[in-house]
Amino acid sequence: MSGAPQQEFDSEAPPTETLCSIGDLAAATGTKPETIRWYERVGLLPAPVRQGRGNYRAYGKEHLDRLSFLRRARDLGFNLEQVRTLLDLADRRDQDCAAVSVVACAHLEAIERKLADLTVLRDELRQVIGQCRNGRIAECRIIEALAPGTSKTKTPKPRSMRRG
């Protein structure tokens, strides 16, 4: 980073006065600069203006807001296509929000399926752990359950972990 003082984002200031470096944007959002550049390449974040002799990227409040939205959506588990859809919808603020609900409901259903699968896995692991007699490894029920071909019951893969 340069030795110049960092500018803070000010929602009252005109966009030309709120420009900051990629490092400042990264710090403000907890996003690595490489990730910010990747979001630009894939079209999730608009390209910033370039300024100065070094043609440095200069980000404004709109970049901070969009990247913060993107990060929050990713933190909630939305995949990149869902985030792209939500960002596109967020850009059309006068539209009905039914399309947003469709995306959110589909994501919620996927989360609920994963939770059900995790519950099955948790219960099975508890059962295996409960069979442990804390003896020698040669008689360990946990190792026996994990070893291929030696388990007495075949464990089906949860839906969220199956291929195809």
Share of the chain above pLDDT 70, in %: 80
Rounded mean pLDDT of 32-55?
92
More reliable by pLDDT, 7 or 73: 73
CA 71 to chain centre: 7
Task: Please indicate, yes or no, if residue 113 is contained in any of the structural domains.
Answer: yes
Convert the pLDDT of each residue in 48-62 to its tens digit.
988 877 888 899 999
Residues 33 and 85 in one domain: yes
Residue 86 in contact with residue 78, Cβ under 8 Å? yes
Rounded mean pLDDT of 104-127?
95
Residue 158: the pLDDT is 58
Residue 8: the pLDDT is 47
Residues 24 and 44 in one domain: yes
Q: Which of 39, 58, 90 is the last residue of a domain?
A: 90
Q: Which of 33, 67, 90 is the last residue of a domain?
A: 90
**Which one of 32-36, 45-49, 160-164 scores highest in mean pLDDT?**
32-36
Task: Please indicate, yes or no, if residue 75 is contained in any of the structural domains.
Answer: yes
Residue 155: the pLDDT is 53
The string of DSSP letters for 80-106 reads: HHHHHHHHHHHT-TTS-THHHHHHHHH
**What's the rounded Cα separation, in Å, for the pair 155 and 163?**
16
Residue 149: the pLDDT is 75
Q: Which of 60, 90, 120 is the last residue of a domain?
A: 90
**What's the rounded Cα separation, in Å, for the pair 130 and 132?**
5
Residues 85 and 133 in one domain: no
**C-alpha dihedral sign at 132, 138, 144, 147:** positive
Q: Domain count of the chain?
A: 2
Closest CA to 51 of 105, 2, 87, 114: 2
Structure-token pair, residue 99 = 């399309």
Residues 24 and 83 in one domain: yes
For residue 20, what is the domain's CATH number? 1.10.1660.10
What residue numbers bound the domain in which 152 lies?
100-161
Rounded mean pLDDT of 100-123?
96
Task: Please indicate, yes or no, if residue 23 is contained in any of the structural domains.
Answer: yes
Task: Please indicate, yes or no, if residue 5 is contained in any of the structural domains.
Answer: no
Residues 78 and 141 in one domain: no
Residues 128 and 156 in one domain: yes
Convert the pLDDT of each residue in 82-111 to its tens digit.
999 999 999 999 989 999 999 999 999 999
Residues 115 and 144 in one domain: yes
Task: Please indicate, yes or no, if residue 6 is contained in any of the structural domains.
Answer: no
Residue 135: the pLDDT is 83
